[in-house]
Amino acid sequence: MEKITVIGAGLVGSILSAYLARQGYEVSVFDKRPDPTLHGALGGRSINLALSYRGWKAIDELGLRKSIEDISIPMKGRSIHQLNGQIDFQPYGTENEALYSVSRGMLNKILVEEVKKGENIKCYFNHECTGLDYRTNEISFNTLEGNLTIAANRIFAADGANSAVRESLSKDGIFNAVYEPLSHGYKELLIPAGNNGKHKIEKNALHIWPRGGNMLIALPNFDGSFTSTIFLPHEGDYEEEYNFSSLENNGIGIIGMFQDLFSDAIGIMPDFVKSYGPNEKESTLGTHYCNPWNFEDKVLLIGDSAHGVVPFYGQGMNAGFQDCIYLNNLINNHKGDWKTIFSTFSEKRKPDLDALANLSLYNFIEMRDKVSDNKFLLQKDIERYVSSEHPGKWTDLHYLVTFTDVPYSKAKEIGDLQSRIMESVMSEPDVDVKWKNWAGFRSNITKKILNSLEDSNQK
């Protein structure tokens, strides 16, 4: 049985290891953290992630749907909390379509449990990869017992956005890695459960308080709480008044910001200053690009180590799981020909992840600004109308990304075309009044949209 080494038993490393073991390889997985199945999932305040179609597809292929469904909460749409306290619900898809809020810690625990069941998988926790020598294929680790070096033939690096493997091969000039930091960072806050243990706001929704360059979101947890995330600029040179730098060590400033921007969240988050942690540093966000993703037939980056994106489309993990499906199909088609598998993965999959990086940056603007903008909401109404009157002709970009496995690059191409068409529609004088009141106008606009789609299909 051929031996494979996986660095990282996080979300993608676990799914990948399960796929590789099913292919009959002897898999050794190394992770710097302690074993999550022995030490329990992260308790209390825990990051939760939105799981969508692409992620579920890998989970289904591995037969894990039931155990993951048991720890996830469907979110059927966005609940937009307006500045005046009004809450508008915007469904994501049809009645049966939802994103699923799942705790990262619990998900990782279940996936590692699954990996440990594999007879041909060995897990090594508390093994921190410190470097990889591409000339000798030797991997160095820091372990509880001291330093360790092993030689490995086929190495998959699933060691996350700050990948030590990527770093090591970039230093040696094998990879060209670029990091583009975002102007904004984030902190996690907690909206505790109500006294009855129930959710204080709609459970089956992703909550957003969109305030331009400042934004608060919340995803539901099983215990009645919500994990909330606040996004602010790091520094004051951004146009928004509130930023992490000016709020550092400043309880009064934090109270002022909540009163100004998120007053309806104060009632449900009574300890918001403590939860914000005035003395704690915010986390950073950014996009990791790397080219290529492979070194010959020896090393392959996968998941965030290859393509860390900003989290605003909720797709990083989903994309990483889809990487595993993609790779598994390549292994099926070219079994044993690792050169073809690695180079095809790097060349053919990368354009999709470059597209996702771009879409994720764009969705930051949509989430923080547009979801509360009347013109944008009208545009979405028009799109929904065309889509329901002419099924199959118009599928919204968000839907393509979230509820299908259309390649991200194709989804972006369609989204770019839709934006151009809708820009022209929305520039019609008094479009809002006419759309609401005149059936003839609705019919003309619909024809215009369909004709534009037809024209572009013929080009």
List all residues 6 or more positions away from 250 whose beta carbon is below 8 Å from its beta carbon.
Answer: 278
Cβ(235)–Cβ(210) below 8 Å: no
Of residues 179 through 198, those in contact with ligand FAD by CB under 6 A are 186
- Per CB under 6 A, 32 contacts ligand FAD: yes
Q: Which one of residues 6, 7, 80, 357 is an interface residue with ligand FAD (CB under 6 A)?
A: 7
Pair 227, 276: CB distance under 8 Å: no
Residue placing its CB nearer to ligand FAD in the complex, 178 or 252: 178
- Residue 411 within binding range of ligand FAD, rule CB under 6 A: no
Site for ligand FAD (CB under 6 A): which residue of 160, 233, 407, 415? 160
Q: Return the number of the residue (48 or 446) whose C-beta is nearest ligand FAD.
A: 48
Residue with tokens 């990889």: 132
Q: Which of 12, 80, 356, 367 binds ligand FAD (CB under 6 A)?
A: 12
Measured between alpha carbons, how far is 266 from 228 in angstroms, rounded to an integer?
12
Window 211-240: residues binding ligand FAD (CB under 6 A): 229
CB 423, CB 431: distance < 8 Å: no
CA distance 382 to 360: 24
* Piece in contact with ligand FAD (CB under 6 A), picked from 253-261, 315-323, 351-359, 375-383: 315-323
Q: Decide whether 210 or 314 has the Cβ nearer to ligand FAD.
A: 314
Minimum CB distance to ligand FAD, residue 177 (Å): 15
Find the shortest distance in angstroms from Cβ 171 to ligand FAD. Answer: 14
The dihedrals phi and psi of 138, each to the nearest 5 degrees, come to -100, 135
**Token pair for residue 285?**
């966000």
In the complex, minimum distance from the CB of residue 448 to ligand FAD, in angstroms, rounded to a whole number: 36
Part in contact with ligand FAD (CB under 6 A); list of ranges 68-76, 153-161, 170-178, 190-198: 153-161
**CA 128 to the chain's CA centroid:** 25
User: Per CB under 6 A, does 37 bind ligand FAD?
Assistant: no
The residues pairing with 92 across neighbouring beta strands, listed in sequence order, are none
Strands in 176-255 per DSSP E: 176-191, 206-211, 214-220, 226-233
Under DSSP, the state recorded for 29 is: E
Give the binding-site size for ligand FAD (rule: CB under 6 A): 30
Phi, psi (degrees; rounded to nearest 5) at 55: -65, -45
Question: Which residue ranges make up the site for ligand FAD (CB under 6 A)?
Answer: 7-13, 30-33, 49-50, 128-129, 158-160, 164, 186, 229, 303-304, 311, 314-318, 320
